[in-house]
Chain A
Amino acid sequence: MSQAPLRIVVIDENQVRAAILEDGLRAAGLTDLHIIRETTHLLRRIVAIDPDVVIIDLENPSRDVLEQMFQVSRMVSRPVAMFVDQSDTASIEAAIDAGVSAYIVDGLRKERVKPILDMTISRFNAFSRLQRELNEAKSALEDRKVIERAKGILMRTRGLSEEEAFVLLRQSAMNEKKKLAEIAQSVVTAASLFGG
């Protein structure tokens, strides 16, 4: 069993996520890293790199290309297996939940691979969290914009102050058990229909 640093291939078309993962792996001292974003001639490129571990995101349809590695193992000098150890289903489940899969060469000790998989899972989850927060922030910004427009419409058509317009929107939202932004959106829609 060689103790040479593990060579890792990361296949991810999402550049931001790949960068987050790369950062984590490098910080853990895994510097023999190869990031593949373009999946044409994927198998040929993997064979040329001859990695110990291949990490691929589950949104990538090219994952099926990797399955061919099991069939054509003469071309990869060492047999490859998916990171499936029937005794460790929790870890593979966590990987699938996080949206990632890993393939390792046969004979690699589990202790050497486990930290890599754990790191990958946590970085993938961190990316999802980031994405979710970004989406929430975006939608909060959109909400604020539509509320501002609705307030403006109410101030203009009903002769209200900004404060009064906001109170009216909030009161309607509470009465109708809707979100403030939804009520604001209906004000904006109605105004456009009535030429307000």
Chain B
Amino acid sequence: MTISELGPGIEVDAPRRARAAQPRTVRAGFIPLVDASVLIVAAELGFAEREGVRLDLVKDVSWSNIRDRLAFRQFDVAHMLNPMPIASQLALGSNPFPVIAPFSLGLGGNAITLSVDLYRQMQEAAGLAGAEDAMANGRALKAIVEGRRARGEPMLAFAMTYPFSSHNYEFRYWMGAAGIHPDRDVRMVVVPPPLTADALLAGAIDGFCVGAPWNMLAVEAGVGRIVATKPDLWPSSPEKVIGVRHDWAELNRETLAQLIVALDAAARWCDEPGNRDILASILARPAYIGAPVEILKRVLSGEFTVDPNGTMRQVDDYFVFHRKLANFPFVSHALWTYSQMVRWGQTGLSAKGLAAATAAYRPDIYRAALAGRTTPLPLADSKREGEPNAVVPSDHGGVAMGPDAFCDGRLFDPAEIEAYIAGFEIHNRDCAPGDAVTADN
């Protein structure tokens, strides 16, 4: 397929360079998830090639591998969880090398799934009919957590995919908003995405927060009940980014700029509803996600089966690949992520930490690559997060962000980060880094 045959959404800018003399090969690691779509489409449909970049995609099995293969030069760039570059700049975890994020791969895509049995208990305890919102489900979970404690039963175990992941912070945020302390009232464990449905079935965990398509697959397998989606918790929350070693970015400025132009065009293509069927069929290939094409189609359009009885729910903007400034690496996203790292005791709040978190996101590189093109560039690098119906000023006029509230109605103003963090009653700040919870797995 060539770009001219790609159908709608291809209102394209001129290639960044008329014709690259020699296509530069860029090796990119990815994890098989729907939020790798932009990267996959850039390689698969020729967007990268048009910019003179030969995108060599390498599928991997763990975020730790992605991090290390990027650090040790087996990859030039990688599909990464947005907290990973921030953790690397803060030298948290076993991060061998600082990484930067010059491009966000879009918004949305996660959900929280509980075991069918746990949800049934919640229904009994709180009289849930099935159509309740994420917060009502959270309060029902709190009733169960308290009941178990009163009866001296073991804590529920909840899984996420990586300590520095949007999933970890989203799951915790939801629980915190419902009055549940994720480090004291339940056990938080790591389970790799492909193993989540099995772990739920085996009773090793009682719920998980993971990206698409794993929630839907757990529901289809008859073991899971979706109780919250990412847009329920915070519609424009950050998700995956392109991670780049800063030395590679320095030495390959032109190539990185060409890659960003290609990713921008691919993201625009992915966002076009008319292209979602083709996108689903590409993602379904074993080389990429290898999941049933019908499920991928429904995931992309936000048509959720939330329980094994087939209860349907339409989630608007479950995936946003390009609209709403979805690819701009907002520094406020990096700082919100840092605020949650501090809230949960992964690191302390300091001027140095703020500087490191800020340095992880590189809107300057994004701006330079896309200057003078059709994609709107916001006038500021940060915005207030969680403001419903905000209009963000850009060089192409105001961009309407839509309903963008946090599930608990808080606002995050990056200039007031200290007060924001202090405002959470449920937190783990007193816990020195490295001396965290008593979880086991």
Q: Which residues of A does B touch, CB under 8 Å?
A: 40-44, 47, 58-68, 70-75, 79, 81-82, 84, 86, 89, 92-93, 96-97, 101, 103
Question: Smallest Cβ distance from B185 to chain A, in angstroms?
Answer: 16
State the CA gap A89–B73 with chains docked (Å): 11
B222 at the interface (CB under 8 A from A): no
Contact check, B72 vs A72: say whether CB atoms are below 8 A apart. Answer: no
For window 150-191 of B, CB contacts with A under 8 Å fall at 161-163, 189-191
Known: A64-B63, A65-B191. A71 touches B163 (CB 8 A): yes
Contact check, B440 vs A70: say whether CB atoms are below 8 A apart. Answer: no
Contact check, B439 vs A60: say whether CB atoms are below 8 A apart. Answer: no
B409 at the interface (CB under 8 A from A): no
Known: A41-B204, A61-B61, A92-B72. A67 touches B440 (CB 8 A): no
Total chain B interface residues with beta-carbon distance under 8 A:
36
Q: Which residue of chain A is the closest to B191 with respect to CB atoms?
A: A65
Contact check, B192 vs A43: say whether CB atoms are below 8 A apart. Answer: no
State the CA gap A64–B253 with chains docked (Å): 31
Q: Which stretch of B306-314, B415-423, B430-438 is in the interface?
A: B430-438
Contact check, A61 vs B437: say whether CB atoms are below 8 A apart. Answer: no
Known: A81-B94, A96-B69. A67 touches B202 (CB 8 A): no
Partner of B62, one of A41, A61, A79: A61
B374 at the interface (CB under 8 A from A): no
| Residues in B whose Cβ lies below 8 Å from that of A43 | 189-190, 440-441
Partner of A67, one of B61, B74, B162, B437: B162
Contact check, B64 vs A66: say whether CB atoms are below 8 A apart. Answer: yes
Contact with A along B53-71 (1 / 0, CB 8 A): 0000000011111001100
Contact check, B441 vs A44: say whether CB atoms are below 8 A apart. Answer: yes
Contact check, A47 vs B440: say whether CB atoms are below 8 A apart. Answer: yes
Contact check, B62 vs A72: say whether CB atoms are below 8 A apart. Answer: no
Question: Smallest Cβ distance from B96 to chain A, in angstroms?
Answer: 5
B194 at the interface (CB under 8 A from A): yes
Question: Smallest Cβ distance from B82 to chain A, in angstroms?
Answer: 16
Contact check, B439 vs A75: say whether CB atoms are below 8 A apart. Answer: yes
Q: Which residue of chain A is the closest to B194 with respect to CB atoms?
A: A61
Contact check, B192 vs A64: say whether CB atoms are below 8 A apart. Answer: yes
Contact check, B163 vs A65: say whether CB atoms are below 8 A apart. Answer: no
Contact check, B72 vs A96: say whether CB atoms are below 8 A apart. Answer: yes
B305 at the interface (CB under 8 A from A): no
Partner of A59, one of B61, B162, B199, B435: B61
Majority secondary structure of chain B interface residues (helix, strand, loop or mixed) = loop
State the CA gap A93–B75 with chains docked (Å): 12
Contact check, B162 vs A64: say whether CB atoms are below 8 A apart. Answer: yes
| Residues in B whose Cβ lies below 8 Å from that of A63 | 61-62, 64-65
Partner of B64, one of A44, A67, A86: A67
Question: Smallest Cβ distance from B290 to chain A, in angstroms?
Answer: 14
B195 at the interface (CB under 8 A from A): yes
Most buried by A among B190, B204, B439: B190
State the CA gap A61–B62 with chains docked (Å): 5
Contact check, B94 vs A84: say whether CB atoms are below 8 A apart. Answer: yes
Contact check, A73 vs B194: say whether CB atoms are below 8 A apart. Answer: no
State the CA gap A84–B67 with chains docked (Å): 13
State the CA gap A72–B93 with chains docked (Å): 11
Question: Smallest Cβ distance from A79 to chain B, in angstroms?
Answer: 6
Contact check, B162 vs A75: say whether CB atoms are below 8 A apart. Answer: no
| Residues in A whose Cβ lies below 8 Å from that of B162 | 64, 67
Contact check, B64 vs A101: say whether CB atoms are below 8 A apart. Answer: yes
Question: Smallest Cβ distance from A74 to chain B, in angstroms?
Answer: 6
State the CA gap A96–B436 with chains docked (Å): 29
Contact check, B189 vs A60: say whether CB atoms are below 8 A apart. Answer: no
Q: Which 4 A-B pairs have the closest CB atoms?
A: A43-B441, A61-B192, A82-B94, A63-B62
State the CA gap A97–B73 with chains docked (Å): 10
| Residues in A whose Cβ lies below 8 Å from that of B69 | 96
Question: Smallest Cβ distance from B279 to chain A, in angstroms?
Answer: 25
State the CA gap A59–B73 with chains docked (Å): 18
Most buried by B among A44, A60, A61, A75: A61
B375 at the interface (CB under 8 A from A): no
Contact check, B434 vs A70: say whether CB atoms are below 8 A apart. Answer: yes
| Residues in B whose Cβ lies below 8 Å from that of A74 | 435-438
Q: Which residue of chain A is the closest to B73 with respect to CB atoms?
A: A93
B346 at the interface (CB under 8 A from A): yes
